[in-house]
Structures are given as structure tokens and as C-alpha cells.
Amino acid sequence: MWSADDRRFMGAALRLSRWHLGLTGANPSVGCVIVKDGRILGAAVTAQGGRPHAETQALDLAGEEARGATAYVTLEPCSHFGKTPPCANALVAAGVSRVVICLTDPDPRVSGRGISILRDAGIQVEIGLLEEEGRRALAGYLMRKTKHRPHVTLKLAVSADGMLGRRGEEVSITGPLARAQVHVLRAESDAILVGIGTVMADDPELTVRLPGMTGRSPIRIVLDRRLELPLTSHLVRSASGVPVIVASVQAPAFDAQSDPERDVRRDALLQAGVEVLETGSLSELLHELAGRGISSLFVEGGATVAATFFHQNLADRVILSQGPGEIGPGGLESPLKPSDMAANFVMIRAEAYGRDLCFEYERSF
């Protein structure tokens, strides 16, 4: 039912939608391309912060010429009155004759209604073009809306012999290109998470540092049961600029008496502008984050944290970068290796970054 041109224009809309991943808050980053006679009249992505939506911007660009045109949108146009009237109504008013939609919107305020508004107005509506790509581009939004948790990406850098490094010693596993990719992945996420062990070992900043990507730093979360995050760490010292959450996950049976200094450390963290979030399980933490509009979580380390997410079935995507060097005996073994990715994952990308290889896996169920 779809032509090569249809695929090309929806592909463009999907690439546009990826551009604002991590920048649109609780709103999905949607792409819209308006086309007539094979020519793009307007193309837009949901604005930073989530408003205006993609369609209204693209229609503004197209102007009067939108009459009789085809609109390609990566998500069903909205049907609810937010700060502005619904996009479905705007498409009707502009007189487009055909709307091609990649995915329907699971938001209960919209789901199916956007499509009805268009069809009732006599517009030809087609649904499902490049659906699989759409599901990847909108993975965070879909996960938050349907499972009420963020979409979780685990990332690990492993040596050729499957090691993460050596205990107490800094070992460089991957080169500059693979490391730059990490910054892109950070930029596309709403939040980054590491374990307290990683903070103690590396004192990371967990910000996005790439030319042209300023102002794109996601909030930073440290899994730190005992609230040991040092006040002198880069994270705490920069907490007024980019928020930091210390997440303490422990079973309800935890005995506060066993650690009398805990409250003192909690107060000091709060004083330093860090938020402390206590939950009884990792799922509960993710639920809480979703409630705050966090759709995508990038889990950067270390081994224990990655293994915990993986074994609790809370990993949706795994990115393994593999460097060419071997660490040898005495190395810190990676909990996940390209050779033993569980049967529940499929590889969707294998790419070379200089001398490193990058494998991307996606949950297959």
C-alpha cells in the first residue's frame, strides 16, 4: 500500500523525531513532514520542552500550500485540548487530504480519537508505516505510557576477553569514537544512572560533553543504598546545575538502627542540593521516575548495577562496546558479553567505531 516515496518521507519524519529525544520532557518527540507533489513543504519535530507539537509547526511552514498535501507523522496526531487546540483539528483546518501515521498513541486522551477526527473530516488515513522503526524511536514514551516505567538501556564497555577492567586500576577499553557515542546516548536520555561503586572509582560528571550538544544533560541518579555519595564528588558539586538524585533501594525490613549515621549523611546530601529517594525495590524506583515524566533511563555502570537490571528483567536494550585489547587474568569479568547475551535479546546493530565494535541488542519479547 505504501510507495518508496512514502517510506522515504516517513523515514525523514522518524529521523527528525530522534533529533529531540531527551529534550521534550514527558511529551514524546514526534516528527512531521508535509509533502505535495514529491516536495517537502514543511518538516518539524516536537519543540524542546514538548510544545508546540510537530504538526502545528510543520503546518505553519507549509502555509496555504498544505491544502491537498500528505502529512507524515510518527505518532497519531493529538485530539485533546492542551495549551493549544488538537493537532488533528489543525490538520483538518489546513485541508490536508492524506495523513500517514507510523504509530497510534497509547495516551488515553488521544488513542484512536485523533484518527477518528481525521477520518470524520474525510481525510484518507493510513497507519503503520515503518512501525518497527517508530517503536524504537518512541520506545521511551511507549514504555512509560504502557508499563509505567522508563525504557532502560544498559551500556558496558568490554575488552576482547570479556573484561570490564582491573579492580582499583583505570584501564581504557574503548577509543574516542565509542566514548563519543556514549555522550550521544546520554543526550538522548531523560536520566542517567550509575552505582555508587562507579562514583567512588571514577568520580564521573555524567554530563553531555559534545560540540553542539550543550544544554542537553539529563538528570543524574546514583544507586546508593547507604547514602555514601561523597559531598566532594563532581556530581554533588554540580547538583545545582544538573539535578542529582541519590536513590536508596532496600527491602522494607531494613533496620535503621544498624546505621545511626545514615540520617546525618542524608541531611548533608539534602543540604548540598541533592534529592534523596528511598524505595523498596528497583521496580518501585522506576515507577517513581516514570511518574516524574522520565521516559528513558541510561544505565552506565558498573557491573553490579548492570547485572541487577538485567536479572530483574528491567533491561530493554543493551549496548556493548568491545575494545580490541585483552585484559587477561585478574580482570574484572563483565556480567554481560556479546557471546552470552541471553536468548531473550536479539542483536539489531553491529558497527565499528575505529578499532572498537559496538553491538546493540533489543529485548525480543
Residues classed as catalytic:
55
Q: Which stretch binds ligand AOF (CB under 6 A): 4-12, 46-54, 132-140, 288-296?
A: 46-54
Q: Which does 105 bind (CB under 5 to 8 A by kind): ligand AOF, Zn ion, none?
A: ligand AOF
Query: Contact letters (x/-) for ligand AOF, 57-76, by CB under 6 A?
Result: ------------------x-
Provide the β-strand partners of residue 124. 98
Is position 131 annotated in a ligand binding site?
no
Query: Which one of residues 105, 316, 356, 360 is an interface residue with ligand AOF (CB under 6 A)?
Result: 105
C-alpha cell at 334: 563483565
Name the minimum Å distance from CB 109 to Zn ion: 11
Query: Which one of residues 55, 224, 356, 360 is an interface residue with ligand AOF (CB under 6 A)?
Result: 55
Is position 358 annotated in a ligand binding site?
no
Name the minimum Å distance from CB 80 to ligand AOF: 6
Q: Select 72 or 310, whichever has its Cβ closest to Zn ion.
A: 72
The site for ligand AOF, by CB under 6 A, has a size of 18
C-alpha cell at 30: 514526534
Q: Is the peptide bond before 302 cis (omega within 30 degrees of 0)?
A: yes
Is position 209 annotated in a ligand binding site?
yes
Residues 8-27 that bind ligand AOF (CB under 6 A): 27
Residue 78 within binding range of ligand AOF, rule CB under 6 A: yes
**Torsion sign, CA atoms 8, 132, 316, 47:** positive
Q: Which does 6 bind (CB under 5 to 8 A by kind): Zn ion, ligand AOF, none?
A: none
Name the minimum Å distance from CB 254 to Zn ion: 45
Is position 20 annotated in a ligand binding site?
no
Is position 87 annotated in a ligand binding site?
yes
Residue 28 within binding range of ligand AOF, rule CB under 6 A: yes
- Binding footprint of Zn ion on the chain (CB under 5 A): 53, 78, 87
Query: Which one of residues 22, 42, 77, 165 is an interface residue with ligand AOF (CB under 6 A)?
Result: 77
**Alpha carbons 97 and 61: distance in angstroms, whole number:** 17
Residues 195-254 that bind ligand AOF (CB under 6 A): none
Rg (CA), the chain: 23
Residue 140 within binding range of ligand AOF, rule CB under 6 A: no
**Alpha carbons 175 and 289: distance in angstroms, whole number:** 32
Instruction: Cite the annotated binding site by residue number.
Output: 53, 78, 87, 157, 186, 198, 202, 206, 209, 300
Binding residues vs ligand AOF (CB under 6 A): 27-28, 30, 46, 50-51, 53-55, 75, 77-78, 82-83, 87, 105, 107, 110
